[in-house]
Amino acid sequence: MTLSAKIVTHAESVPAGPSKKTLADYIFGRWLATAEEDEQKIGPLAGVPVLGLDALSSAAYGPEAALTLLLPLGALGLSFIVPLSGIIVAVLLVVYVSYRQTIAAYPNGGGSYTVAKENLGQGAALVAGAALALDYVLNVAVGISAGVGALVSAVPALLPHTVSLCLAILVLLTIVNLRGTRESGLTFSLPTYLFVASLGGILLWGAFKAFAAGGHPVPVEAPPALPVSTETMSLWLVVRAFASGCTAMTGVEAVSNGVPIFRRPTIANAQRTLTVIIALLVALLAGIALLARAYGIGATAPGESGYQSVLSQLAGAVIGRGPLYYVTMGSVVAVLALSANTSFADFPRLCRVLALDRFLPDTFATRGRRLVFSYGVVVLAVISGFLLVAFGGVTDRLIPLFAIGAFLAFTLSQAGMVAHWRRIGGARRSLWLNALGAAATGITLVVVVVSKFADGAWVAVLLVPLAVLTFSRIHRHYRYVGQEVNDSRPLDLSRTTSPLVVVPVQAWNKLTSRGLRFAVELSPDVRALHIVTQETQDDAPCALARTWDSLVVEPARAAGLEPPRLVVRKSTFRQFFAPLIEYVEQVRDEHPSRDVVVIVPDLVVRRWYHALLHNNRGIILKGLLRLRGGPRVIVVNTPFYLT
Amino acid sequence: MTLSAKIVTHAESVPAGPSKKTLADYIFGRWLATAEEDEQKIGPLAGVPVLGLDALSSAAYGPEAALTLLLPLGALGLSFIVPLSGIIVAVLLVVYVSYRQTIAAYPNGGGSYTVAKENLGQGAALVAGAALALDYVLNVAVGISAGVGALVSAVPALLPHTVSLCLAILVLLTIVNLRGTRESGLTFSLPTYLFVASLGGILLWGAFKAFAAGGHPVPVEAPPALPVSTETMSLWLVVRAFASGCTAMTGVEAVSNGVPIFRRPTIANAQRTLTVIIALLVALLAGIALLARAYGIGATAPGESGYQSVLSQLAGAVIGRGPLYYVTMGSVVAVLALSANTSFADFPRLCRVLALDRFLPDTFATRGRRLVFSYGVVVLAVISGFLLVAFGGVTDRLIPLFAIGAFLAFTLSQAGMVAHWRRIGGARRSLWLNALGAAATGITLVVVVVSKFADGAWVAVLLVPLAVLTFSRIHRHYRYVGQEVNDSRPLDLSRTTSPLVVVPVQAWNKLTSRGLRFAVELSPDVRALHIVTQETQDDAPCALARTWDSLVVEPARAAGLEPPRLVVRKSTFRQFFAPLIEYVEQVRDEHPSRDVVVIVPDLVVRRWYHALLHNNRGIILKGLLRLRGGPRVIVVNTPFYLT
């Protein structure tokens, strides 16, 4: 085929990356080529900090949240913490097994959105997407402020700097995540494993001491006495305690959502990571519950003097306030503050999937310099930064919203997996496991919504539909534009005529001649439009008209070109734009099949403030002609550079 | 001459004014044609309120300022007010006579700037311009806040609204002045003449009573007793009292600056207006001084309880606190607040003259819809509004600055007139009159600067050189641009070749085909540049490459046109702009004599927020190519309208 010889393909690698190191290169790292993707992938060791921080840090606040609600029962309340934790661990295990299956079924990232979309339809998928997005955003704000809260309660001198500390951690997380997935895994390994090792060690040592003492160990540092019972036990109280304790399960979906960041064998690595995370979490939750019971540790009233976190009491009871105590509490602070990192790994991927389906702007789907979806990282940082500032760095009131997002996404994902197994048939055991998961998380969701409704859960009930509506509106706009723009017909060149060119000319100078020279290159039909805004003597030809022949017409004739015509218009009201637009409209209507090009020579100044000294007619005119010119009018600014 | 037949001149009046009445028409009035200028001109009756408010209102604070400084002398101080006022009136009369001459010599507006420029050189002219500009700006802030200050001291309930009241008056003045000179004259006539009539009536009646009582009239309402003397008389004190009293002379230059706003006979009308203003001002100043002496009225300590303005004491002493008292005091308030209007008449004209000489941006020289220099009006309003807000509506501390601007301009103008008479020769009497004026105002200037230096005059000593420097820098930029742009050679069409056109093409749609169709109209040499940012299988041709022949090449051949070539570039780092700009630079360097046109099809959305959903590549690319493209690269956005 001879025609295709015209297609020139330069497939060689263009060295488009910046050649000298800029400041941005130092902060964010050099640009990574698309082909370097595999080197950015991670294994389970880095996977636990990247995707597990959210889940693991839950151990620091889940049991405490449940114990706080049991506070009015006094010592009696403590007897409920072990069975309640047992139920939570059971639900967690069900969720674990079903998410293992999800990972295997959706190796390209089986976030709740994808699973819901493929099995339950787009509507359910958008609800899941909105719920997850809410969860991720709140997780950043809640995680960072919980960590900073623990820090300032240890070092009260830092209290006035709460918001600044929160924002500093946010900036750190943002930069590390913009540097890429691998980098964030390495950065956050140390605090994660320190947390697991020190807290796990304390729990093991405490369990050994409790066993040795026949179930009644003597605390090194006695925890505060449990308060006198002020309420009698009721089912409602236990249900609410359960709902609060369920925040311990948030963050478990993160691995299934982030499968593609693992190196090969992808599925096995992702499943291993999930297993490690869940095993650690179950161990921590069970250990905390059992030792709290053994040492008689309850919650203390939050926000009152004498408040001490459950983990602090527990560490004090087992090992006393030695150096290890402080190392452990320091790692708790770090893990809480960094738990926001899970959102940074998953939120941009969620936005990307939504953008690929055209429910969010395209930009969310483009990968930045370090192969992460930078736009999502930045948007997440901005929204959660806004929340941190708005709430002054104290986000307790956001916690109920946060569990709802997570459990709504869980339930839809599990329900989607049930539909998945039914569709592909066969796998009965898998189907039942996911059905069990859906039931467990669904019931938990209902419990959380009902018991926390007045505490702020109603905001989530409002926000999720609002987000779904926004997604739909964006989608509708893109679909509409797609239809408008869609074209499979070949190029229609049947009516191609050279455009009619209008050049506004106010005086003779280099800008004018630059504009006219370009105009003559484009078309033989050029009109130089001179608008007289100053008062002049009637009918006296302006200077331009007197010299037009010698300046323009004669050189054009000499070059064998059609000379530009000078058109003079008087502006009664001293306006420049009104008569110009009117002339353009007139010319456009006189030539219904031709394009009309308006050339406005533009001065390119060397300093931005010099622009204040020049009329920026090019920009104004372009705006006006966008409004009034229509599709055939095209404004062109020819640049004139000051040397 | 046959060539000129090509020049089409449409000199007929284009109906460019808006055809249906807009909101702006109601607020600012309809657009006035340039030919309607004469109808906007005014006579002496409107001239007094337009150009005299500043001068006349000085009577309300000049004598009071002098008396305040004499306060420590007790009753003795009062004996100095008549001789001090005598000196001030004498200087005023000298200034009057010399400004009459200036008006005759400079019928096109003999502002200090113009007179200094023609006779003393550009440097002196810029100093005069800066001094006047400072004076005008401060006059707006000081006048409005003085009026509002008098109002809130009468109605203390309004005190918390001081700034809002100041801004409301500022907005009123701005709108009235944007409606045109004539309109502002009519609007401000009533308060001006009411002030002159009521205060003049009181002074006459008081003078009659004093005469009848043999120089010792009995006050209807006794003024507060004069304080006991705390200082002895010193020359320094009297000099400072004189310097303060000289604020009574500010505003006298306004008429000479605004000559062109008078109808014919222009000079006679302007001179008549000046005569009326000066006569009224002299009468008021003399009356106040004489009656203050006769009734034993001194200043009361400003800012302390029991404070009462001199005019209020005087009116109370002569006629008691009847209705006429309140009418008089009301007119004082109005005249003070509206005295800012003189600045609105003259500041824009000063800016226009500076702009015509290219010391300020051009825009200051263009007349708006009502034939006033609207830009100057708005800039004046913005600067003085800023001052009012910054000083919380209390601008006493600005008063010293204000007198310095005025007297500096006076002196330069008088000195300029001396040089004028020396140059044209002959008129000895005129020369000596102006020399006397220059000496009087020059000495006053020195007295004011020295005696008020620590009170804030040093700010003026800083601001004036700063303004002069700014004017010079602006001028230098314009001169530089003028040289760069200047061209008297005819159009050079020797190397005219069709441009090389680059169209970035990412997919086939109506935007793409619109852009390509336009490209083909412009040039036979069109390159469609496809940048592959997504990861693709190596060497597999993209969809566009596979369909290019049928979509583009064949239709172009069929239409007898050179088909656009498809150029495919892979972007290693997923960037879009970097490889595009690189390609443009490469093409530009390969064709050193041709223009390179980059066509970016642009979506025109119906709602501004839809723009958030689309990448605004056209705008970004234009900015980037302005930085890196150079003079031969021209970016064109072809609009595609969503229906």
Domain containing residue A510: CATH number? 3.40.50
Cross-chain Cβ contact A571/B639 below 8 Å:
no
What confidence score (pLDDT) does residue A588 get?
Answer: 92
Is A272 within a domain? Answer: yes
Q: Are B531 and B580 in contact (CB under 8 A)?
A: yes
For residue A322, pLDDT over 50 is answered with yes
Range in A231-240, B209-218, B350-359 with the lowest mean pLDDT: A231-240
- At residue B128, the pLDDT reads 92
From chain A, the residues in CB contact with B641 under 8 A are 630-631
Single out the residue of B75, B79, B69, B82 nearest to residue B229, CA to CA: B75
Residue A316: CA atoms inside 13 Å, Cβ hemisphere, count? 13
Contacts for A642 with CB less than 8 Å, ≥ 6 apart: A603, A604, A605, A606, B480, B481, B484
CA pair distance A544, B7, nearest whole angstrom: 11
Decide if A555 touches B, using CB distance below 8 A. yes
User: For position B130, what pLDDT does the model report?
Assistant: 94
Nearest to B550 by CA among A3, A494, A486: A3
Q: Give burial (CB, 10 Å; 0-12/13-18/19+) of A607.
A: exposed
Q: In chain B, helix, strand, coil percent, each to 5? A: 70, 5, 25
pLDDT for B215 beyond 70: yes
Which helix (H) or strand (E) element contains residue B212? Answer: helix B181-212
| Tokens standing for residue A122 | 């787009």
Neighbours of B15 (CB within 10 A): 12
pLDDT of residue B45: 82
Taking residues A191-215, report their average pLDDT: 90
**Are B327 and B293 in a shared domain?**
yes
| pLDDT above 70 coverage of chain B, percent | 93
Closest CA to B136 of B112, B157, B154, B117: B112
Put simply, whether A550 touches B (Cβ < 8 Å) is yes
B residues 289-318 lying closer than 8 A (beta carbon) to A? none
Kindly list the residues from chain B whose CB atom is less than 8 angstroms away from the CB atom of residue A567.
Answer: 8-10
Q: Report d(CA A542, CA A535) in Å as an integer.
A: 11
DSSP secondary structure string for all residues of A229-262: P-S---HHHHHHHHHHHGGGGTTTTHHHHTGGGB
Is the pLDDT at B427 greater than 70, yes or no? Answer: yes
CB contact A231 to B (< 8 Å): no
Residue in B closest to A640 by C-alpha:
B631
Residue A304 has a pLDDT of 66
Answer yes or no: do A572 and B634 touch at CB < 8 A.
Answer: no
Do residues B467 and B130 lie in contact, with contact meaning Cβ atoms separated by under 8 Å? Answer: yes
Task: Please give the angle made by the CA atoms of A337, A343 and A345, to the nearest 5 degrees.
Answer: 115
Minimum-distance CB partner of A561 among B33, B366, B493: B493
B409 shares a domain with B509: no
Span A514-560, pLDDT tens digits: 899 999 988 999 999 998 876 555 556 678 888 898 889 998 888 88
A448 & A553 share domain: no
Query: Does the distance separating the beta carbons of B559 and A496 come in below 8 Å?
Result: yes
Q: Tell whether the model's pLDDT for residue B296 goes beyond 60.
A: yes
Q: In the listed set A459, A475, A491, which residue is the last one of a domain according to the structure? A: A475
- B14·A569 Cβ contact <8 A: yes
pLDDT tens, position by position, B586-601? 999 999 889 999 998 8
- Whether B547 and B459 share a structural domain: no
The residue among A401 and B126 whose pLDDT is bigger is B126
Q: Is the pLDDT of residue B3 over 50?
A: no
Number of domains in chain A: 2
On the question of pLDDT at B463 being above 80, the answer is: yes
pLDDT the model gives residue B16: 43
C-beta of residue A585 within 8 angstroms of C-beta of residue A577: no
Residues A370-379: tens digit of each pLDDT: 667 888 899 9
Cβ neighbours of B3 in A, within 8 Å: 549, 553-554, 557, 563
- Judged by CB atoms closer than 8 Å, whether chains meet at A491 and B516 is answered as yes
User: Bigger pLDDT: A507 or A16?
Assistant: A507
Q: Is the model's pLDDT at A453 over the cut of 80?
A: yes
CB contact under 8 A, A572 and B637: no
Q: Are B491 and A549 within 8 A, CB to CB? A: no
Q: DSSP class of residue A550? A: I
Residue of chain A whose Cα is closest to the Cα of B547: A490
Half-sphere exposure of B184 (CA within 13 A, CB side): 33
What percentage of chain A reaches a pLDDT higher than 70? 93
Alpha helices in A179-234 (DSSP H): 181-212
pLDDT at position B122 is 92
The answer to whether residues B469 and B509 belong to one domain is no
- Conformational region of residue A201, where left means phi above 0, alpha means psi within -120 to 50, and beta covers everything else: alpha
Q: How confident is the model at residue B529 (pLDDT cuts 50, 70, 90)?
A: very high
Domain CATH for B460: 1.20.1740.10
Q: Does B641 touch chain A (CB under 8 A)?
A: yes
Inside any domain, residue A290: yes
* pLDDT for residue B378 is more than 70: yes
Task: Tell me whether residues A579 and B16 touch, CB distance under 8 A.
Answer: yes
Same domain assignment for residues A505 and A451 = no
For A107-163, the pLDDT digits (tens) are 877 688 888 998 999 999 999 999 999 989 988 988 888 888 888 777 778 888 888
| Interface mutation vs chain B, best among A474, A476, A493, most B CBs within 10 Å | A493
> Do A281 and A247 share a domain, yes or no?
yes
B258 lies within 8 A of chain A by CB = no
Residue A356 CA to residue A362 CA, distance in Å, equals 7
Q: Reduce the DSSP state of residue A526 to 3 states and report it.
A: strand
B558 interaction partners in chain A (CB closer than 8 Å)? 493
Query: Is residue A474 less than 8 Å (CB to CB) from chain B?
Result: yes
Judging contacts by C-beta atoms under 8 Å, the chain B residues touching residue A552 are 490-491
Strand-pair category, B596-604 with B500-504: parallel
Beta bridge partners of A602: A639
Closest in B6, B14, B474 to A571, CB measured: B14
B6 reaches A (C-beta below 8 A): yes
A595 min Cα distance to partner chain B (Å): 8
pLDDT score for B17: 46
Contact A15 B572 (CB under 8 A): yes
Both A427 and A561 in one domain: the answer is no
- Residue B380: both structure tokens together: 């004046």
Residue B638 sits at the vertex; the CA angle it makes with B634 and B643, to the nearest 5 degrees, is 165
Compute the half-sphere exposure of residue B286: CA atoms within 13 Å on the CB side of its CA: 13
Task: Identify which of B573, B574, B584 has the alpha carbon closest to the alpha carbon of residue B500.
Answer: B584
pLDDT recorded at residue B538 = 55
Q: How far is A114 from chain B (nearest CA, A)?
A: 21
Q: What is the dihedral of CA B44, B47, B49, B54, to 10 degrees?
A: -120
pLDDT digits (tens, 9 = 90+) for A574-591: 778 888 889 999 999 999
Residues of B in contact with A496 (CB under 8 A): 517, 520-521, 559, 561
Tell me what pLDDT residue A86 has.
Answer: 92
Q: How far is B177 from chain A (nearest CA, A)?
A: 18
> Of A8, A491, A496, which to mutate for an interface test with B (greatest number of B Cβ within 10 Å)?
A491
- Please report the pLDDT score of residue A2 as a whole number: 36
Contact across the interface for B361 and A478, Cβ inside 8 Å: no
**Residue B398 sits in the same domain as residue B530:** no
Q: What are phi and psi of B170, to 5 degrees?
A: -60, -45
pLDDT tens by residue, B96-142:
988 888 888 888 776 888 889 989 999 999 999 999 999 899 889 88
How high is the mean pLDDT of chain A? Answer: 83
In a domain, B8, yes or no: no
- A-B CB pairs within 8 A amount to 311
Lowest-confidence region among A219-233, A235-249, A478-492: A219-233
Strands lying side by side in the sheet with A596-604: A8-10, B565-570, B526-532, B500-504, B596-604, B633-641, A633-641, A596-604, A500-504, A526-532, A565-570, B8-10
B-chain residues within 8 Å CB-CB of A362? 615
Boundary residue ending a domain (B476, B511, B536):
B476
Interface test with A, best of B572, B640, B643 (most A CBs within 10 A): B572
Question: Is A631 close to B615, i.e. CB distance below 8 A?
Answer: no
pLDDT for A16: 43
**Closest residue, chain B, to A523 (C-alpha):** B522
Q: Is the peptide bond before A265 cis (omega within 30 degrees of 0)?
A: yes
B616 plus B468 within the same structural domain: no
Report yes or no on A508 lying in a domain. Answer: yes
Q: Which of B460, B476, B492 is a domain's end point?
A: B476
Q: Is A12 near chain B, with CB under 8 Å?
A: yes
Q: Measured between beta carbons, which residues in chain B are less than 8 angstroms from residue A579?
A: 14, 16
Question: Do A410 and A273 have their domain in common?
Answer: yes
Q: Does B476 touch chain A (CB under 8 A)?
A: no
Do the domain assignments include residue A286? yes
Q: Does any domain span residue A486?
A: no
Question: How far away is chain A from the Cα of B155, in angstroms, using its nearest Cα?
Answer: 41
Token duo for residue B477: 């930029």
Mean pLDDT over each residue of chain B, to the nearest integer? 83
Q: Which residues of B touch A498 (CB under 8 A)?
A: 521-522
Burial of B155 (0-12, 13-18, 19+ CB in 10 A): exposed
Q: Which helix (H) or strand (E) holds B531?
A: strand B526-532
Judging contacts by C-beta atoms under 8 Å, the chain A residues touching residue B553 are: 3, 6
pLDDT digit string, tens, across residues A64-114: 888 888 888 877 888 888 898 999 899 889 889 888 888 888 887 768 888
Could you list the residue range(s) of the whole structural domain that residue B407 is in? 43-476
What percent of chain A shows pLDDT beyond 90?
20
- Which tokens hold the place of B161? 């609204």
Structure tokens at B281: 């001002």
CA–CA distance, A471 with A511 (Å, rounded to integer)? 48
Least confident of A282-286, A317-321, B24-28, B141-145: B24-28
Give the B window 332-371 contacts with A, CB below 8 Å.
361-363, 366-369
Is residue A619 a part of any domain in this protein?
yes
Distance CA A336, CA A313 (A): 18
Mean pLDDT, residues A173-189 taken together:
80
Would you call A641 an interface residue with chain B, using a CB distance cutoff of 8 Å?
yes
Give the 3-state secondary structure of residue A28: helix
Q: Is the dihedral of CA A279, A283, A284, A289 positive or negative?
A: positive
Residue type, A418: V
Residue type, A570: K
Q: What is the structure's pLDDT at A371?
A: 67
Whether B439 and B552 share a structural domain: no
* Residue A363 belongs to a domain: yes
Q: Test B559 with A639 for CB contact under 8 angstroms.
A: no
